[in-house]
Chain A
Amino acid sequence: MSPGLRKLSLTAHVTSSVGWLGSVAGFLALAVAGLTSNDAELVRATYLAMDLTGWLVIVPLGGVSFVTGLIQSLGTTWGLFRHHWVVAKLVISVLASAFLVVHMQLTSLIAHAAATRYLSRSDLGGLRLQIAGDAGAAIVVLLVAVILSVYKPRGLTRYGWRKQQQDGL
């Protein structure tokens, strides 16, 4: 991969990954407001906003982060399975994306209910609490991914070690 393309891919990856984290933080703020507020209009607006930002911002950012992460790893000498920290980030990205899709379906259920009827604090209480908990957990997981990217903890996988041996010959 040329240096220019590598920089472009890296920029897209950093932007989408950090944007993913930031948008989930915003989502968490809305989830807490929707869970704790007694204002019916605020609750309705909150869940409609969460549904929109989830599908139109968070899911696309997660997808872009995943794809650009693949490009970054496969297009550079880091590789996808050579270093433990890259594998860890791949696992985080795959699991987070899968859970995000499940999570967004639940969010859409609540948003649909909020759009069609009044939601008291106890209505859909379990789901609303779960949505807020999921968002909090997602922030922790995405923070771990950021930390791995910054610190790049040392450690070759067996595959990476074999490749290094072959390249050294």
Chain B
Amino acid sequence: MAEPPQDPSSDSGNNGPTVRVPDGSRPPARPRWVYAFWTVVILFVIVFITLHLTGRGFGPHMHG
């Protein structure tokens, strides 16, 4: 069952989200931390794939 929106300043614990009641017709801007998160994730995946393809890690070719 959906819970009603709560005051953003209240601590909702894990029972449900603390959400801001929409006051416009446009979607909210993406927070900056989200851009930082996805940048790190993409860099991490690129490093992983690069290491894998160049044979510098992640495989039995490193034995010995």
| Contact surface of A with B, Cβ cutoff 8 Å | 6, 10, 72, 76-78, 82-84, 88, 91, 95, 99, 102, 106, 109, 113, 123-124, 126-127, 130, 152-156, 158, 161-162, 164-165, 167-168
On chain A, the residues within 8 Å of B17 by CB distance are: 77-78, 82-83, 152
On chain B, the residues within 8 Å of A6 by CB distance are: 15
On chain A, the residues within 8 Å of B41 by CB distance are: 91, 95
Since A102-B58, A124-B62, A126-B62 are in contact, a sample of 11 more A-B pairs with Cβ atoms closer than 8 Å, ordered by chain A residue number, is: A72-B14, A78-B17, A84-B30, A88-B34, A95-B41, A106-B58, A127-B62, A155-B33, A156-B19, A162-B27, A164-B5
- C-alpha spacing A22/B27, complex, angstroms: 39
Chain A residues touching B, majority SS: helix
| Contact surface of B with A, Cβ cutoff 8 Å | 2-3, 5, 8, 14-22, 27-28, 30-31, 33-34, 37, 41, 44-45, 48, 57-58, 60, 62-64
A108 to chain B, nearest CB (A): 11
On chain A, the residues within 8 Å of B28 by CB distance are: 155-156, 161
Q: Is A84 a contact of B64 with CB atoms below 8 Å?
A: no
Chain B residues touching A, majority SS: loop
Q: Is B34 a contact of A84 with CB atoms below 8 Å?
A: yes
B57 to chain A, nearest CB (A): 6
A/B interface sample: 10 pairs, CB < 8 A: A84-B37, A113-B63, A130-B62, A152-B17, A155-B28, A155-B30, A156-B27, A156-B28, A162-B27, A164-B19
Contact of A76 among B8, B16, B30 (CB under 8 A): B16
- C-alpha spacing A126/B15, complex, angstroms: 46
